[in-house]
């Protein structure tokens, strides 16, 4: 089936964070600004998802959700078919988003004052969540090797204080879209075992690999360490249903599951029934849409990288997955403020790199999941904004 990703949806003024929060965040209410920040797509969800939501609306019942087992079966089928992990549906729990799942694992597996490791630059909400829960952010800076991020486990090992309890692993990585090699994942899991750390694998971007690129779940790369692994993931990024606020928490180990069940029970919350309907339709019925959107995003990336890499002193990190391009402007020698001001002045709104922790300075993150005509316009505006340095 053909899908139209080129025609823009009328998103302004429809409670769309990426469009309707620009004024609050960037201080401009210019309706011409092209939003390339919040990590969702400007595209309509797959038809099966909209139909599933419509069926719920037609039922007219908006009460509590029960019997998640068929949804968990769809989750297990998707992971097995797409990513080669045969998980038991009984390991799956539901949360109100992946950050919420992250908080549940921190609550269950650490105490206030404990250290939670992150490999930065990385998704900014991790920092906020760790701090909000009274834990301590332990940043392990990623190192650049051959233009790609790598973890420096030796340096991390040398810096451990004994207060660390959890490692946060973002796979595929946001920002930059790196797919980790199975050997790197295994080395990280071995590291966690050596230091008795819980390993949280955030796989929310797993369904956004570029065509022909495979993704290895942490459970597949390190099956001997399932006893300390908690996977947090969702259909929200891959299928563009982040507004459903439905996350998955998958804990293969019964003891760990009991700990996390306690946290979830204490919260007294049940899954969002609309989110569950969308999740099931995503994993169960929307595989061809996923293929189509990944192809479209990969082409957006190809065009973006070719043109933006043409700007002297600017380089786009090579991506294998996600739609979140990580662009290094350090060659221009501008301050972070001047850089962002110039880009906003060009009517393009990316995320400032400083949001992502150590290593973020001098960078901007651009969301490439937008209609091609809008992308072309944004690229032309960026090129024009930097003509004086060409």
Ligand X SMILES: Cc1ncc(COP(=O)(O)O)c(C=O)c1O
Pick 204 or 293: Cβ nearer ligand X: 204
Asked if 98 touches ligand X (CB under 6 A), the answer is yes
Q: How far is the CB of 307 from ligand X (least distance, A)?
A: 25
User: What is residue 83's three-state secondary structure?
Assistant: helix
Q: Please state the closest distance from residue 332 (CB atom) to ligand X, in A.
A: 26
- DSSP designation for 22: H
Please select the residue that binds ligand X; options are 72, 120, 140, 174, rule is CB under 6 A.
174
Are the C-beta atoms of residues 101 and 91 closer than 8 Å to each other? no
Choose the binding region for ligand X from 103-111, 206-214, 234-242, 248-256 (rule: CB under 6 A): 234-242
Contacts by 71-78, CB closer than 8 A, 24 or more apart? 71/276, 71/279, 71/280, 74/279, 74/280, 74/283, 74/284, 75/248, 75/250, 75/279, 75/283, 77/283, 77/284, 78/283, 78/284
Q: Which stretch binds ligand X (CB under 6 A): 63-71, 94-102, 261-269, 344-352?
A: 94-102
CB of residue 65 to ligand X, shortest distance in Å: 17
Give the residue ranges of DSSP H helices in 36-181. Answer: 47-59, 69-78, 98-109, 125-132, 153-159
Identify which of residues 96 and 307 has a Cβ nearer to ligand X in the complex: 96
CB-side neighbour CA atoms (13 Å) of 89: 12
Pairwise CA distance, residues 388 & 379, whole Å: 16
Cβ pair 172, 148 in contact under 8 A: no
* Smallest separation (angstroms) from ligand X to the CB of 106: 13
Cβ closer to ligand X: 104 or 164? 104
312 token code pair = 């002297």
Nearer to ligand X, 321 or 346 (CB): 321
> Quick one: which of 188, 199, 234, 343 contacts ligand X (CB under 6 A)?
234
Site string for ligand X, 121-160 (x = CB under 6 A): --x-------------------------------------
Q: Which residues pair with 34 in a beta bridge?
A: 348
State yes or no: residue 176 binds ligand X (CB under 6 A): no
DSSP 183: H
Of 45, 92, 99, 117, the one binding ligand X (CB under 6 A) is 99
- Between 242 and 346, whose beta carbon lies closer to ligand X? 242
202 near ligand X, rule: CB under 6 A: yes
* Residue ranges in contact with ligand X by CB under 6 A: 39, 97-99, 123, 170, 174, 202, 204, 234, 236, 242, 247
């Amino acid at each position: 089936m053909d899908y139209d990703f080129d025609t823009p949806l009328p998103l302004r003024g429809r409670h769309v964070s990426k469009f309707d929060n620009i004024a609050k965040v960037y201080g401009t209410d210019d309706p011409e600004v092209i939003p390339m920040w919040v990590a969702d797509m400007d595209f309509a969800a797959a038809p099966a998802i909209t139909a599933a939501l419509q069926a719920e609306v037609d039922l007219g019942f908006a009460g509590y959700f029960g019997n998640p087992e068929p949804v968990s079966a769809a989750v297990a089928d998707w992971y097995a078919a797409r990513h080669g992990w045969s998980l038991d549906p009984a390991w799956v729990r539901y949360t109100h988003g992946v950050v919420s799942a992250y908080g549940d694992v921190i609550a269950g597996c650490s105490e206030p004052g404990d250290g939670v490791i992150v490999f930065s630059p990385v998704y900014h909400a991790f920092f906020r969540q760790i701090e909000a829960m009274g834990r301590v952010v332990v940043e392990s800076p990623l190192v650049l090797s051959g233009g790609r991020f790598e973890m420096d486990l030796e340096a991390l090992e040398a810096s451990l204080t004994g207060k660390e309890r959890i490692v946060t692993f973002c796979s595929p990585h946001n920002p930059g879209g790196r797919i980790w090699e199975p050997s790197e994942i295994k080395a990280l899991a071995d590291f966690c075992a050596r230091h008795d750390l819980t390993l949280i694998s955030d796989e929310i971007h797993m369904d956004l690999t570029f065509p022909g690129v495979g993704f290895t779940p942490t459970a597949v790369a390190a099956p001997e360490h399932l006893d300390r692994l908690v996977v947090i993931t969702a259909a929200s990024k891959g299928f563009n249903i982040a507004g459903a606020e439905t996350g998955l928490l998958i804990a293969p180990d019964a003891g760990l599951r009991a700990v996390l069940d306690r946290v979830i029970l204490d919260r007294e919350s049940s899954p969002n029934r609309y989110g569950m309907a969308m999740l099931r339709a995503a994993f169960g019925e929307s595989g061809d849409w996923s293929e189509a959107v990944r192809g479209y995003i990969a082409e957006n990336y190809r065009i973006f990288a070719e043109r933006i890499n043409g700007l002297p002193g600017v380089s786009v990190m090579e991506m294998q997955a996600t739609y979140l391009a990580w662009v290094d402007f350090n060659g221009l020698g501008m301050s972070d403020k001047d850089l962002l001001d110039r880009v906003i002045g060009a009517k393009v709104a990316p995320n400032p790199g400083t949001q992502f922790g150590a290593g973020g300075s001098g960078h901007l993150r651009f969301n490439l999941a937008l209609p091609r005509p809008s992308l072309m316009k944004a690229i032309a505006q960026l090129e024009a904004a930097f003509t004086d340095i060409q």
